[in-house]
Structure 1
Amino acid sequence: MDWLAQLPVEALHGIGPRQAAVLREYGIHYIGALAAVPPATVQRLLGGSAGRLAADRARGIDPRPVVPRAMPVSATVRYRFGRHVLDGAEAARRASPRTTRAGTVRAVRAAPHGATRPPLQRRPT
C-alpha cells in the first residue's frame, strides 16, 4: 500500500475537512502517517466510530464490497483537424490515436474476450 501512504489524509474516504484539520494539528498529514498511529489514538482524536474507520482504512482495511460500475452507454471523442481532410484513410490515420479511448469502451463491450479495432465514424462539418 505504498501508493496510499503518500496521499494526503483528506484523500482517504470518510475524512472530511474538519477531521483532516484535526489530524494536521497533530502532525498527521499523510495516510502513511495515519496508518502508523495506534488505532486507539486515532479514535481519541476523531471520535469512536470515525476514528476506528479512519484507522482501518489507512491500513487498507475496508469491509465494504467492491461493486463494479456499469460500462457507459456511449463514449465520444471529438477531434478537430487543423485543415480539411477529404481522404477517408488519411482522416482515419490521423484520428486513430484519439479514438482509442472511446473505442476501448465499445470494444470491451462488443468483444469481452478480445478487443477489436474501433470503427471510426466521420461526420461532415
Structure 2
Amino acid sequence: MEKQKIGLGRRKEAVTRVFLSKGNGNIVVNDLDYKAYFPQIYLQNQVELPIITIEGAGKYDIKINATGGGKKGQAEASKLGIARALITLNPEFRPALKAAGLLRRDPRGVERKKFGKKKARRSFQFSKR
C-alpha cells in the first residue's frame, strides 16, 4: 500500500487533517463524500482548487478529518491542508501552489467583545434625551 502524506490546515476555529495517497480521485470528509458534506458549489470548488492547480484531478485519494468551526472554515482549512500534503508528496508542486496563493494561512479570526460595548465594535444605543 502507498504511504499516506499528511497535511494540516487551519482557518478561524476549523482544523482539518488531510491524508493524501495515490488513487482515483475520491475525496472523503468525515466519512462522507465531499459533495455531500459541502453541498454548496463554491465550497466544493475550494476543496478541489489545489488538485486543479497542479492538474492532478483523478490521481489522488484524499481523506479529511474536519473539526471545529463552520462549513466555510472547514472547506478553506481543507484547501490549505491538501496543498501542504501535496508538497510533502512532491516538492515540485510548490511554485504552482504558491503562485495561486494556496500555501498562505488566513490569519483572520473573530474579534473579541469589549466591555462597555454590545459586541466587538457595536455600542449600546445612545439616547440624547
**Is the structural similarity TM-score above 0.5?**
no
Band of TM-score, shorter chain: under 0.3
Structure in which a larger fraction of residues adopt strand: 2
Question: Structure 1-normalised TM-score?
Answer: 0.25
Larger radius of gyration: 1
Structure in which a larger fraction of residues adopt helix: 1
Q: 1 or 2 for the larger relative contact order (CA 8 Å, sep ≥6)? A: 2
